[in-house]
Homo-oligomer: A and B are copies of this chain.
């Protein structure tokens, strides 16, 4: 974990900061702090006070809602270049989710005040921020849609089809039990459904590797039956 990084360069190609000019970028870079979190380590817990936002530089983060009985519901994943924790920052509420590292992760942390300053200096930064939040909102609404309007099999199918794929090849980025939670399923159910889609000839499963064989057939499942 001894990575030396050029914060300014890193920030420069984040969507969020792309509109900033050189001067502001330098200010932002100065304002940000490195945070290192080991795999399975927590960035924050539910109930913690929010005083800034995080940007993933290296690694991966999952946001989840913890439940009483040790369960958790995964809300979203964040990979390098993505920001999280911005939403709560603008409210004066504590986090209602927890953030946990899926692998050894390097984050940048930027204080609320510095973000506010950037908003005041540059309206187009405010717009980017607004667009970012809107995107997040959009994704959540989609999640609500899948959980409420689609059955287990359809959820798996739409997840697979939504994954970025090279050719017909897709790979699960994390443990299946984390994916299952994101989809609102138990790991057992996910396993069974993958097996089922496999034997129906829609996909070919091999561990975390999946080959999508019949896109039209799968899409048909999302509407018919």
Contact = CB atoms under 8 A, between A and B. Distances in A.
A141 interface: yes
A137 B143 CA distance: 13
B65 A131 contact: no
Contacts of A135: 91
From A68, A86, A130, A134, residue with most partner B Cβ within 10 Å: A130
Contact of A119 (B126, B133, B134): B126
Nearest to A147: B147
B143 A144 contact: yes
From A73, A86, A90, A127, residue with most partner B Cβ within 10 Å: A90
Nearest to A137: B87
B136 A93 contact: no
Tell me if A's interface is mostly helix, strand, loop or mixed.
helix
Interface residues of A, number: 41
A65 B141 contact: yes
A90 B89 CA distance: 20
A103 B135 CA distance: 30
A134 B92 CA distance: 10
A144 B141 contact: no
Nearest to A121: B123
B149 A91 contact: no
Contacts of A142: 96
